[in-house]
Amino acid sequence: MKHLYNLLLVGVFVCCVQSLVLAQQKLDPANYSTVDNTPNSPSTPTGGPGTTTISPEYNEIGLWWTGASGSAWGGGMRQTSQLGGEPIAGRSASWTVNVPPGKSGVYLIYNYVLQAANNASNVYYTLKYEFSNKIQDSIRHDLRRSAITFASVGLGSWVPLMIDSLSVGNYYITVGADSLSGSAIMRADAVRIMRSTVTHADLEFGRRTRDGFDSVRVGEVWTDAPLGTVTFKQIPLFNLGSQPLQVTNIYATTSYSRWIIQLPDNGSFPLVIQPGAKVNVSIGFRPFEEENIVDTLVIVSNDSLELESRIPISGNGINYNFILNASLTNEPHYNAPFDNLGNPDRPQIIQTGAWSPSGTGISAFPYPIAGGNLQGTFTFDAVASTEYRFKLPDSVNGQPGSSGNYFIEHGAIPFTSNSDIAQVTIIPAFSTDTIRTSYNQSGLITPPFFYALANKPIHLNQGDWTSVKFYRTVALNAVLRADLLRIRKIPTGATIAATPQLNFGNVSIIPAGCQRNAEDSG
């Protein structure tokens, strides 16, 4: 499936041999095929009820619109809404991919959409053979995994979804929405199937860039990780080869103490992946101080064409912080103090007026808990409020006491031109003063993902409730929104978490084994 990059000739034979051993693989275009959505022509239908057959290779169910973007594959895409905000359950789009004679075998299935903060976060993909009434494979997927940068809109990436054995003939790959998919925008652009022709183990992993699919893996980024915690991401490893893949080590090349490698079921090396199988490996980032870490993850295996596979990894650590989530669907807070059932000091979200969940009016921040922030909240009421109440912890980073200066920051919600000006009051614990401020919720640009309220640090005290209330008493625009609120401590000196604690209550860890594709790849 792959061949080696061309290597610069060197004068010493030993050096040449070492370069070959450490070389990265390059995919062979002869071993993959791609199906786009529509022909991307001006006559493309704008959507309608029932089934819309657009081409022999692509059709839709439900209402869809055409979107044009230079970040799309082929210049155009299809999407379930122009602005978002309406439920998308029941809509779907299907691509027909063909496996020609002589090329049956194990294939890895990729999906491409541009990156957008309002991409739907909980859609499903299914795989079905043309002569079968049964779904061969399925997976839940977050379309936001296509993101490469922190821009609100931009080039996306090819994300590996499923690995399956395909026979000669046609297969239908379907993306769809159900009652769990919310009201964000489901986009359908292109899918790709790829096989391997090698007779040994063949490791494939990582997202790939739109135009550099053959050779460029997209790095993984850990954003704003708090000191003293470990934030995990899952990296699926696929074996496209015909022999068992043996992974004998996974490590970071420079700042190895900042990373934790966790194998399925807390196992040990070697990790064996059978042909046509997938295993999720958890990579955890643990900053020791406010720092930026740029590193490379190396996967050592018996893939003879790529004995040491590499992918960029990076993360930044920030001082102690926690995030409160105003969701109406019991979505979790992150790293919040006293956040356990039955604790009288547990954070509180108090709302007045009629509030509803929104899958589109959602903070663009990549939430540290996988699937932990799929919806924001909104109201049309002229008089309404959302109040966040919390108590500071008894200690921070292992040191007693937590009173000090903090930034209180609201999570920016992009793509919300109909949002109102939010009035805000902040009442710190044991304070007789009320801090009053406001901000315009419309047209916010991300990044940054959080904006400081009152544009200054605020002194907070431990021991009693602090209140932060978003409200309006007159409706100037249609919608008032609320989602994430971050409370971030300002360092008073050198802040180092010398012995990071594994705080598994604050991260999402999904046990993974050599199962099929039931779990999402991101």
pLDDT in tens, 246-288: 999 999 999 999 999 999 999 999 999 999 999 999 999 999 9
For 219-238, give one letter per residue: b (16+ CB within 10 A) or e. bbbbbbbbbbbbbbbbbbbb
The one-character DSSP state at 343 is -
**pLDDT at residue number 84:** 67
The enclosing H or E element of 22 equals helix 13-22
Output 82 or 405, whichever has higher pLDDT: 405
For 103-116, give one letter per residue: b (16+ CB within 10 A) or e. eebbbbbbbbbbbb
Instruction: Assess whether pLDDT exceeds 60 at residue 497.
Output: no
Beta strands 187-188 and 399-400, pairing class: unpaired
Q: What's the token pair of residue 366?
A: 């990549």
Confidence of residue 146 (pLDDT cuts 50, 70, 90): very high
Instruction: Assess whether pLDDT exceeds 80 at residue 187.
Output: yes
Q: What's the token pair of residue 12?
A: 């010493």
Instruction: Assess whether pLDDT exceeds 60 at residue 312.
Output: yes
Q: 390 pairs with which residues across the strands?
A: 466
Q: What percent of the chain has pLDDT over 70?
A: 86
Sequence-distant (≥ 6) Cβ neighbours of residue 119 within 8 angstroms:
113, 142, 143, 144, 146, 184, 185, 186, 187
Output 319 or 17, whichever has higher pLDDT: 319
d(CA 39, CA 217): 28
Residue type, 256: Y
Q: What percent of the chain has pLDDT over 90?
A: 69
Instruction: Assess whether pLDDT exceeds 60 at residue 520.
Output: no
Find the radius of gyration of the CA atoms of the chain. 24
Give the residue among 134, 120, 138, 137 at the shortest CA–CA distance from 180: 120
Assess contact for 483 and 357: CB atoms under 8 A: no
Give the residue among 173, 185, 190, 71 at the shortest CA–CA distance from 123: 185
Quick one: average pLDDT of 106-127? 94
> How is 375-441 classified by DSSP, letter by letter?
-EEEE--SSEEEEEEE---SEETTEE---EEEEEEEEP--S-TTB-EEEEEEE-TT-S--EEEEEE-
**pLDDT at residue number 1:** 55
Q: 173 pairs with which residues across the strands?
A: 95, 127
Supply the mean pLDDT for the chain.
86
Beta strands 190-195 and 105-116, pairing class: antiparallel
Confidence of residue 450 (pLDDT cuts 50, 70, 90): very high
Confidence of residue 491 (pLDDT cuts 50, 70, 90): confident
**pLDDT at residue number 493:** 54
Tens digits of residue pLDDT in 283-308:
999 999 899 999 999 999 999 999 99
Q: Where do we find the tokens 């409160």?
A: 324
Instruction: Assess whether pLDDT exceeds 70 at residue 16.
Output: no
DSSP-based three-state secondary structure for 65: strand
Instruction: Assess whether pLDDT exceeds 60 at residue 511.
Output: no
Quick one: average pLDDT of 125-148? 96
Residue 39: CA count within 13 A, CB half-sphere: 9
Quick one: average pLDDT of 58-85? 88
Q: Where do we find the tokens 């046609």?
A: 170
Tens digits of residue pLDDT in 88-105:
999 999 999 999 999 999
Between 93-97, 364-368, 404-408, the lowest mean confidence (pLDDT) is in: 364-368
Assess contact for 122 and 140: CB atoms under 8 A: yes
Confidence of residue 443 (pLDDT cuts 50, 70, 90): confident
Q: Give the residue ranges of DSSP H helices in 60-149.
A: none
For 153-177, give one letter per residue: b (16+ CB within 10 A) or e. bbbbbbbbbbbbebeeeebbbbbbb
**Distance from CA of residue 156 to its chain's centroid?**
12
**pLDDT at residue number 500:** 34
**pLDDT at residue number 40:** 41
pTM for this predicted structure: 0.82
